[in-house]
Amino acid sequence: MRVDLLTYGPEPPDNNKTSRAGQSAATPTQTGGASGMDETRFSFDQARVQSLEAAVMAQPEIRAQKVGSLQKLLATGQYAVSDAQLAQAMVAELAGGNSGT
C-alpha cells in the first residue's frame, strides 16, 4: 500500500448536512437505495494529517539497531532460518502478501 503524503484538503460535506460522525447524511436514493450499492467517503482533518506526517518523517528510514543485531549474527554464523520459516516466507511472497517474519 502506498500513502501519498503530499495530498491535502478535506472535502466539504454534501448539501451542508452531516451526520454525527461527520459523514454526509445520505438518503436511500443517494446511495443506491434498494440496489444494494454501498458508498464510502473518507474525510480527514488536515492538521491531524500533518501531525501524523511529521511523526512518520521523524522515524529513521532504517532501523539501525535491528540491522546491527542481524549483521552481528551473520558475521558470527549464528543467524539461522528454519525450513518452516523459509517455506512460509516463500509462500507469502508468491501469494503477494507479507508474513511479517
pLDDT digits (tens, 9 = 90+) for 66-80: 999 999 999 999 999
% of the chain residues with pLDDT over 70 = 60
pLDDT digits (tens, 9 = 90+) for 36-62: 788 887 777 888 888 999 999 998 888
Largest CA distance in the chain: 67
- Sketch the domain layout of the chain as residue ranges: 14-58, 64-95
- In three state form, how does the secondary structure of the chain look? CCCCCCCCCCCCCHHHCECCCCCECCCHHHHCHHHCCCCCCCCCCHHHHHHHHHHHHHCCCCCHHHHHHHHHHHHHCCCCCCHHHHHHHHHHHHHCCCCCC
pLDDT value, residue 67:
92
> Looking at the whole model, is its pTM more than 0.75?
no
